[in-house]
């Protein structure tokens, strides 16, 4: 059986403007790879209701899982929860369990649980909460969509909360070989090798450093023996 697939929807004007560098995609890709879930697509959209709804509906119908980041905080431009509710056609409102978590947190902090902070307790109908041990405000899962904060430390904590609940596949294994030749020189033999091992993925990534140049060839697959065999052939074709 094929491994489960996933997509990521990154939400936020600050990402598209270049003001904030997204690190959540890198973290999610690493964690899903360990779990045997293939991250197959990533989209970035602005803080626009219609854009979020359209992207979410496209992705949730095409992949086994969708992970979103951003837009679930207390400010006016945090509209992700509303957009998710709209995409699924369900209602949204302050939920008692989420409200209780947040109320207790702000009481411990000696801070007012004001209307802005209460917005973070608004959860679409039918969703289950995602634990947030960092700042308490929960994410949520609705069917195959996992809605998480954009702050990297919180996103990472939410990913750690969600992944144990998901069924993965065989972890993807990889090995690499640095070849001191240009990609134009290795392209033909590498294509032949890829055809010989159709169950594996071959990637070529050029490098240039301190006057040396060449390509790092990465072989990926679920069968360790097949990856080993391909690497042996690769090393034979391009000896050091």
What is the percent of the chain where pLDDT is above 90?
Answer: 95
pLDDT at 13: 96
pLDDT, tens digit, for every residue of 4-16?
Answer: 999 999 999 999 9
Whole-number mean pLDDT of the chain?
96
Q: What is d(CA 80, CA 88) in angstroms, rounded to the nearest whole number? A: 12
Four-way CATH pick for 173-237: 3.40.50, 2.40.128, 3.30.70, 1.20.140: 3.30.70
d(C-alpha 6, C-alpha 131), whole Å: 20
Query: What are the backbone angles phi and psi of residue 222, rounded to the nearest 5°?
Result: -95, -15
CATH class, 5-165 region: alpha beta
3-class DSSP state of 147? strand
* pLDDT tens for each residue of 46-84: 999 999 999 999 999 999 999 999 999 999 999 999 999
Q: Can you tell me the distance from the alpha carbon of 122 to that of 99, in angstroms, rounded to the nearest whole number? A: 8
Asked whether the domain spanning 173-237 has the same topology as the one spanning 5-165, the reply is no
By percentage, how much of the chain surpasses pLDDT 70? Answer: 100
> How much is the pLDDT for 91?
98
* Pairwise CA distance, residues 202 & 64, whole Å: 25
Task: Tell me the Cα Rg of the chain.
Answer: 22
Tens of pLDDT, residue by residue over 91-133, are 999 999 999 999 999 999 999 999 999 999 999 999 999 999 9
pTM of the model: 0.88
Whether the per-residue pLDDT at 1 is higher than 60: the answer is: no
Domain boundaries, the chain: 5-165, 173-237
């Amino acid at each position: 059986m094929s491994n489960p697939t996933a997509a990521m929807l990154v939400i936020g004007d600050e990402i598209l403007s270049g003001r904030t560098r997204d690190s959540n995609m890198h973290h999610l890709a690493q964690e899903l790879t360990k779990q045997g879930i293939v991250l197959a697509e990533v989209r970035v959209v602005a803080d626009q209701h219609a854009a979020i709804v359209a992207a979410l509906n496209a992705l949730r119908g095409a992949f086994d899982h969708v992970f979103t980041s951003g837009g679930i905080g207390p400010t006016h431009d945090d509209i992700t929860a509303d957009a998710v509710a709209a995409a699924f056609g369900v209602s949204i409102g302050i939920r008692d369990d989420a409200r209780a978590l947040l109320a207790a947190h702000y009481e411990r902090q000696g801070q007012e649980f004001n209307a802005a902070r209460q917005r973070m307790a608004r959860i679409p109908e039918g969703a289950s909460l995602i634990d947030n041990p960092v700042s308490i405000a929960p994410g949520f899962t609705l069917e195959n969509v996992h809605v998480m904060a954009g702050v990297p430390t919180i996103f990472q904590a939410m990913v750690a909360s969600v992944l144990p609940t998901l069924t993965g596949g065989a972890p993807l294994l990889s090995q690499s070989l640095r070849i001191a030749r240009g990609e134009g020189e290795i392209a033909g033999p590498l294509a032949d090798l890829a055809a010989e091992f159709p169950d594996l993925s071959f990637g070529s990534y050029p490098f240039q450093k301190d006057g040396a140049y060449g390509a790092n060839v990465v072989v990926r697959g679920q069968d360790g023996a097949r990856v080993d065999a391909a690497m042996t052939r690769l090393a034979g074709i391009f000896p050091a």
